[in-house]
Chain A
Amino acid sequence: MRGTLNDQSLIYLQIARMLEDDILRGVYREEEQVPSTNELARGYNINPATAAKGINLLVTDGILYKKRGIGMFVSKGAEEAVKRKRRDAFYDGYVKPLVKEGASLQLTGQELLDMIRRAIQEGEEA
């Protein structure tokens, strides 16, 4: 997990995103336990209610589930679920602003696509 909460988005969303990042990177694998609300609260100096809100968001999305009396665990298929969720968000969060910024620079659609292809190529070469 990243060590700090520093962007401007709401803290419970940042907590949820940090846990998702860790699931994508394999820090927490399916059927493994994730930190408790109190551990998160302590680790990041945040109110436990805020940490719980972040965790509950992931429960609603089927990414985490609760084992009674033990704690929170990563669901089966969580990695896929996170990826699906991120892909949907990717369009709104990255692709649309990219197109908007391109338009304000008067890039044509073709020029934008060429740039993306070039970036993919450079990424493959690196």
Chain B
Amino acid sequence: MSAGVLKAEGLSKSYGSKQVLQNLDLTIQPGKIYGLIGRNGAGKTTLLGILTAQNTKDKGEVTYSGQDVWENQAVLDHICFSRELQPTLFSGQNSLKVRHYLHSAAIFYPNWDQAYADRLLEEFQLDPKKKVCQLSKGQMSMVTILIALASRAELTILDEPAAGLDVVMRERFYQLLLDDFAQTGRTFIVSTHIIEEAASVFEQVIILDRGRILENSPTDELIDQFRYVSGAETAVDRVCAGVEVLSRRTVGRHTTAAVRVDPGKLAALEGAEDVDVSPMNLQNVFVALCGHGDEG
């Protein structure tokens, strides 16, 4: 019943006195592309590391298909977490070569698709003989994308794959991701800070804020709960009475409020007199939920 379901319950993690994850629950259903978004330091990479048993946890449980992931190779065979490459290793430069990474991935992932890896290597024009410390930020991202896709793992996780890629390459990445997904229907979790261009790729979006899961919802259903209401301050106040207001900004006497409404109350809000009601995109929603007043 839980085949392919990744489940985290009661996860907590601290680094020293800083609590990074706070009693967090998360369920990832198979066969969907999840987007993971959160501000810098929200705990995204820590969470992904713990979900894939690459990082230790203080409390809680992580299971895949009902089995504990910790030191469980049979389960980890199905999971690929393609981490960001680092230009430095320990105290020195990362002088491992691209081919070393590809070689270990080929050994580590039982479903590794070498032909696919070769095609991507060619397309990305990556030189396998190059040292990681000689790669640009974008080329490092390409290596992590290549490993993630060619792993053909049932559950594949990419952390900031778009970092450092130019816009053409980012679009190409989303195409490759969707092509792969159309063929395999495997589960992806993709974290990114470039929210708007990825929004249409995510069936489901997870918002992580200060170590807690704020949302794990179908992207369009989430976005559709939010609106901007703008007009005279008094009119906005009147219309927004009894509605959850996330932020408001006043210029002169004109106020714009970011609000969240139950689907049932949307029609009433949109029909309100004397104010303009406009939709939000995912990036607007994210800022409204996670801006905590410092968006200006």
Q: Which residues of A contact B (CB under 8 A)?
A: 5, 8-12, 38, 41-42, 44-50, 53
Q: A10-B224, A50-B200 are in contact. Are A42 and B182 (CB under 8 A)?
A: yes
Q: A42-B182, A45-B175 are in contact. Are A8 and B279 (CB under 8 A)?
A: yes
Which residue of chain A has the shortest Cβ distance to B279 in the bound complex?
A8
Q: List 5 A-B contacts (CB under 8 A).
A: A9-B279, A11-B199, A41-B182, A42-B175, A45-B174
Q: A47 to B202, Cβ gap below 8 A?
A: yes
Q: B201 to A47, Cβ gap below 8 A?
A: yes
Which residue of chain B has the shortest Cβ distance to A96 in the bound complex?
B271
- Main secondary structure on chain A at its contact with chain B? helix
Q: List the B side residues contacting A45 at CB < 8 Å.
A: 171, 174-175, 178, 200-201
Q: A42 to B220, Cβ gap below 8 A?
A: no
Q: B220 to A53, Cβ gap below 8 A?
A: yes
Q: A49 to B200, Cβ gap below 8 A?
A: no
Which of B175, B181, B220, B279 is within 8 Å of A50, CB to CB?
Answer: B220
Place the interface of chain B in its size category.
20 to 34
How far, in whole Å, are A62 and B244 apart by their CA atoms in the complex?
37
- Main secondary structure on chain B at its contact with chain A? mixed
Which residue of chain B has the shortest Cβ distance to A100 in the bound complex?
B273
Which of B182, B220, B281 is within 8 Å of A48, CB to CB?
Answer: B182
Q: List the B side residues contacting A48 at CB < 8 Å.
A: 178, 181-182
Which residue of chain B has the shortest Cβ distance to A12 in the bound complex?
B220
Which residue of chain B has the shortest Cβ distance to A41 in the bound complex?
B178
Q: List the A side residues contacting B171 at CB < 8 Å.
A: 45
Q: B175 to A44, Cβ gap below 8 A?
A: no
Which residue of chain B has the shortest Cβ distance to A5 in the bound complex?
B200
Q: List the B side residues contacting A50 at CB < 8 Å.
A: 200, 203, 219-220
Q: A46 to B182, Cβ gap below 8 A?
A: no
Q: List the B side residues contacting A8 at CB < 8 Å.
A: 278-281
Q: B33 to A42, Cβ gap below 8 A?
A: no
Q: Which of B171, B181, B199, B220 has the most CB of A within 10 A?
A: B220
Q: List the B side residues contacting A11 at CB < 8 Å.
A: 199-200, 220
Which residue of chain A has the shortest Cβ distance to B284 in the bound complex?
A8
Q: List the A side residues contacting B278 at CB < 8 Å.
A: 8
Q: B280 to A47, Cβ gap below 8 A?
A: no
Which residue of chain A has the shortest Cβ distance to B218 in the bound complex?
A49
Min CB–CB distance B31 → chain A (angstroms): 9
Q: Which of A12, A38, A46, A49 has the most CB of B within 10 A?
A: A49
